[in-house]
Structure 1
Amino acid sequence: MPAHDTVALTAALTTALSKVIDPEIRKPITELKMVRSIEIREGAGKTTAVIGIDLTTSGCPMRDTIVDRVKTAARTVAGVDEILVELGAMDAAQREELRVMLRGSATPVIPFTQPGNLTKIYAIGSGKGGVGKSTVTANLAAAMAQQGIKVGVIDADIYGFSIPRLLGVASQPTRVDSMLLPPIAHEVKVVSIGMFVPSGQPVVWRGPMLHRALEQFLTDVYWGDLDVLLLDLPPGTGDIAISVAQLLPNSEILTVTTPQAAAAEVAERSGSIALQTNQGLVGVVENMAWLEQEDGTRLEIFGSGGGQSVSDSLSKLTGTDVPLLGQIPLDINLREAGDDGVPVVLSAPDSPAARALSNVALSLTQRERGLSGMRLNISPV
């Protein structure tokens, strides 16, 4: 084959590979400098492209996916009869270069507090346990992702983590030295302490360790450019709630309650922490609002009015509008979907609970990302 043909084929393959997206980092493998080499070989009447790929780690769990994507892209190049992929792994210097390129700095920082970051951050909390806060978080995330929103979830309920099961995540983050690539489920990036402890083992930590765990989730995990970050908080107003306010002062609180008066009173106290931490209150979600009967009537098992009561109370307390964003009915589909690891907004999108949750997600994603702190590339003349 003439040299100029080889050059042309190599260029065409490079262009094709630039469309291959790393399944964890979600950037082109050419941009990540994972393409080590492209060699064109002639023999036995055919043209073979030998493509060298350096994985981020030798034990990369997505190696087969990457190989498949590379071969699929290379097959689109006319003139190539066979594709061989030779895998290697980045060395320490390459991984360091990758980390700096992704983070923008050699020193880990919380990306969501940097100037120019437009990620909306919603801390989803409740006054007490058992109100379905984690279920709401998982379904909001899945619904947002289905809308095309880039979303991540931090399971900040260190003692009572449940997000991995609710989203069907069984894998651990991929470690690239000191950087973690979060697992992705239903197009949602997820991290939880449950990914690091053996099944059935409790987490027995005190305040400083809880703070450090949350800080590492924010600094060590590569989140990429998220539109929305959701944090599933533990119940109450303890260490994690305070740490979220300190580490993410631009976060807003979404309060989950049930219709029951006792739950609503506790939820009001949970939401009112915003007055002390200077966080915004984005709204209230009432879970387990009613059970729809076959004849169309509603059985209010836990009473009624709790969500609106919390909304009214927090609006009066803060002097701002804290709306009731939605009422989620009791729905067996919701429970079954959580057990199966497929959120109900995906598994049964037409169910009453799914529709209500999707509407809440839509109301949150339609809120514009602010420009506060963003540097604009303009100068006076």
Structure 2
Amino acid sequence: MQKAGGEDEIATAAGCPSDSGMAGRASACEGCPGRELCSQQGGVDPDQAGINVRMNAIRHKVIVLSGKGGVGKSSVAATLAMALAAAGHKVGIVDLDICGPSVPKLLGVEGMPVVNSEYGWLPLKSPHYDIKVMSVGSLLTDADSAIVWRGPRKTGIIKRFLKDTLWGRLDFLIFDTPPGTSDEHLTVLSALKQAKPDGAVLVSTPQDSALVTVRKEITFCNKMGLRILGVVENMAGYVCPCCGEHTDIFSSKGAQKLATEFNLPYLGQVPLDPTLTQQCETGSDIFKAAPNSVSAKAMSTIANTVLEMVKQSR
């Protein structure tokens, strides 16, 4: 969005002017399904009260972002959820990658249907530490069906994930978002405006093409007033399981240099690990199956760092 003078236009920190006098009339409202209602009700979103009730019962809310696809964002989000749960925390994860949901497979609930009770949707429970899972992938009757939805429909389903899902009391809710910055990101940040997310974890791979898009994610977070908890460098080389030698497949430590450039916390790196790949493919738990693997140790360290970061935000 651009103002007439060419400046970027972000009406509020959450990108939605629903609580301002421009509700329903700002350029940011174009295409929003609630535009007419906002203009009639003085900017009151009828879903917000329900969202606040659900989200206020959750202590920490962490949003996982990536600038481009293929960097392992969802695997990092799912493994982060497992690492936090393995440490004794009550954890849920909501899959906001509407058109490419992969969290159900990663957490071992693929093919399990979501039950819609009289009180709301019952999130699926992963066999790993009872992590609560909600994803559009669990609502489809045909797993091979393409999801061809415009922005308003995506907005509607995300609000239902937040408002109508019986999350209960959790220590952490992890948000796995699609690559880039789109309707899904604007919707969830607007919905969480009053519930105050703790911040974002940015996932990148070491090569320059990925780092270019991470810079855009950093700009996005700054514009939206979203704290950046830190940067994770995924696929950071390969460690031979036989001799332990580390080989850089891509450029080395690009994400670490980027974090230093923007004065952001560097959460650590996760190497290419066949053990983690296998666990992701089968939806099993790497912290039980291979607790001494390089990826399990790396993700445990990252989870502990995230835990310390969110404690500082309160």
TM-score tier by shorter-chain length is 0.7 to 0.9
Give the match for residue 59 of structure 2.
Answer: 119
The equivalences for 1:90-239 within 5 A come to: 108-111=50-53, 113-114=55-56, 117=57, 119-169=59-109, 170-177=111-118, 179-185=120-126, 186=128, 187-197=130-140, 198-239=142-183
2:257 to 278, 292, 309: 309
SS of the aligned residue for 2:51 comes to coil
| TM-score (normalised: structure 2) | 0.78
| Paired amino acid for 1:358 | S
Contact 2:54-2:163 at 8 Å conserved across structures: no
Distance 1:212 1:304, change over 3 A: same
Give the match for residue 270 of structure 1.
Answer: 217
Deviations 1:47-100 (A, max 9, x none): xxxxxxxxxxxxxxxxxxxxxxxxxxxxxxxxxxxxxxxxxxxxxxxxxxxxxx
Structure with max Cα Rg = 1
Deviations 1:258-294 (A, max 9, x none): 0111111111211321111111110000000010134
With a CA cutoff of 8 Å and minimum separation of 6, indicate the structure with the bigger relative contact order: 2
Contact 1:159-1:203 at 8 Å conserved across structures: yes
| TM-score (normalised: structure 1) | 0.65
| Paired amino acid for 2:232 | V
Distance 1:244 1:344, change over 3 A: same
Pairwise CA distance, 1:175: 1.7
Pairwise CA distance, 1:239: 1.0
Contact 1:126-1:267 at 8 Å conserved across structures: yes
Bigger drift between 278-287 and 240-249 goes to: 240-249
- Identity %, equivalent residues: 35
Please, what is the CA RMSD of the aligned residues?
1.8
Query: 1: CA distance between counterparts of 2:188 and 2:258?
Result: 22
SS of the aligned residue for 1:275 comes to helix
1:354 to 286, 293, 296: 296
Give the match for residue 296 of structure 1.
Answer: 244
Pairwise CA distance, 1:368: 5.3
Deviations 1:122-142 (A, max 9, x none): 110100000000000111111
Query: 1: CA distance between counterparts of 2:184 and 2:51?
Result: 19
Contact 1:257-1:307 at 8 Å conserved across structures: yes
Contact 2:55-2:162 at 8 Å conserved across structures: no
Give the match for residue 328 of structure 1.
Answer: 270
| Paired amino acid for 2:115 | T
Deviations 1:275-317 (A, max 9, x none): 11111110000000010134332110011122113312332xx
Contact 1:112-1:248 at 8 Å conserved across structures: no
Which runs of 5 or more residues in structure 2 are unaligned? 1-48
Give the match for residue 187 of structure 2.
Answer: 243
Deviations 1:2-23 (A, max 9, x none): xxxxxxxxxxxxxxxxxxxxxx
Pairwise CA distance, 1:214: 0.9
Distance 1:238 1:313, change over 3 A: farther
| Paired amino acid for 1:208 | P
Give the match for residue 50 of structure 1.
Answer: none
Contact 1:118-1:371 at 8 Å conserved across structures: no
Contact 2:205-2:236 at 8 Å conserved across structures: yes
Query: 2: CA distance between counterparts of 1:296 and 1:369?
Result: 35
Distance 1:325 1:112, change over 3 A: farther
Query: 2: CA distance between counterparts of 1:130 and 1:220?
Result: 31
Contact 1:272-1:314 at 8 Å conserved across structures: no
SS of the aligned residue for 2:279 comes to helix
Give the match for residue 254 of structure 1.
Answer: 201
Query: 2: CA distance between counterparts of 1:364 and 1:268?
Result: 21
